[in-house]
Chains A and B, each alone.
Chain A
Amino acid sequence: AQKITQTQPGMFVQEKEAVTLDCTYDTSDPSYGLFWYKQPSSGEMIFLIYQGSYDQQNATEGRYSLNFQKARKSANLVISASQLGDSAMYFCAMREPLRGSTLGRLYFGRGTQLTVWP
């Protein structure tokens, strides 16, 4: 079963508008971490934002915020005031704690390609 599901292969947004990228996850562990990464066309993986499962408030980092709905197991990324440089692939990921052989590995979704147009 997929641990991380990103249902939007592609999204389009106009510059200066906000956009929400969807992510749902699957875990039975009460302790986990949720992450978003950005991968521009140059290929590097850039860490954007982190949300812990016990965090009461939604994480924010500049123009990025994570809409965390624990009961629904969703962790959507909201980008406010989109810029042309935000055009990239965005990956949602989850990290579970050490459990025997899992060693805190990061599970990735398939990604959402965001295109920002002027």
Chain B
Amino acid sequence: DAGITQSPRYKITETGRQVTLMCHQTWSHSYMFWYRQDLGHGLRLIYYSAAADITDKGEVPDGYVVSRSKTENFPLTLESATRSQTSVYFCASSDRPHNSPLHFGNGTRLTVT
């Protein structure tokens, strides 16, 4: 199906473990984003990417790593998970740099115990 998909939908992991959240889009959008959503903070930008091999930090990048070797994939890795990284993570994509909406995946609910 066309669109943007995230996997897994739910993940429970332990403190200190490495976790990778996957994001795949079929539109060939150039721009991709990772947000986290927390009560009281709304949605905050973690990392974004303008094209394959071009990524940059957002508001809250510490503890996360991204890569974008192919246009359609934008995985987010938590190098050593902490309890403060318990959150809902959204991946989004856009076809233009501005004045076009971001299209969001369904989110990944991550719990770090």
What residues make up the interface of A, taking CB atoms closer than 8 Å to B? Answer: 31-33, 35, 37, 43-45, 47, 50, 52, 91, 95-98, 101, 103-106, 108-111
Kindly provide the distance from the CB of B103 to the nearest chain A CB, expressed in whole angstroms. Answer: 7
Is there contact, CB below 8 Å, between A104 and B31?
A: yes
- Pick from B16-24, B68-76, B79-87, B90-98 the stretch touching chain A: B90-98
Kindly provide the distance from the CB of A105 to the nearest chain B CB, expressed in whole angstroms. Answer: 6
Q: A43-B106, A45-B90, A91-B42 are in contact. Are A103 and B100 (CB under 8 A)?
A: no
Q: Which of B40, B41, B48 contacts A105 (CB 8 A)?
A: B48
Q: Which of B31, B33, B43, B96 has the most CB of A within 10 A?
A: B43
Is there contact, CB below 8 Å, between B90 and A103?
A: no
Interface of A is mostly: loop
**Minimal Cβ-Cβ distance residue in A for B88:** A43
Is there contact, CB below 8 Å, between B107 and A44?
A: yes
Is there contact, CB below 8 Å, between B97 and A103?
A: yes
Kindly provide the distance from the CB of A4 to the nearest chain B CB, expressed in whole angstroms. Answer: 9
Return chain B residues, CB-CB under 8 Å to A45.
Answer: 90, 92, 104, 107
Residue interface bits B24-62, CB-to-A below 8 A is 1, else 0? 000000010100000011110100101000001010000
> Measured between alpha carbons, how far is A16 from B31 in the docked complex, in Å?
38
Kindly provide the distance from the CB of A66 to the nearest chain B CB, expressed in whole angstroms. Answer: 13
Is there contact, CB below 8 Å, between B94 and A104?
A: yes
Return chain B residues, CB-CB under 8 Å to A104.
Answer: 31, 94, 96-98
What would be 19 A-B contacts, judged by CB atoms less than 8 Å apart?
A32-B98, A32-B99, A35-B102, A43-B109, A44-B104, A44-B106, A45-B90, A45-B92, A45-B104, A47-B101, A50-B99, A97-B97, A97-B98, A103-B31, A103-B50, A105-B33, A106-B33, A108-B42, A108-B43
Return chain A residues, CB-CB under 8 Å to B45.
Answer: 105-106
> Measured between alpha carbons, how far is A34 from B96 in the docked complex, in Å?
14
Is there contact, CB below 8 Å, between A106 and B102?
A: yes
5 shortest A-B CB distances, which residue pairs? Answer: A45-B104, A104-B97, A104-B98, A33-B99, A97-B98
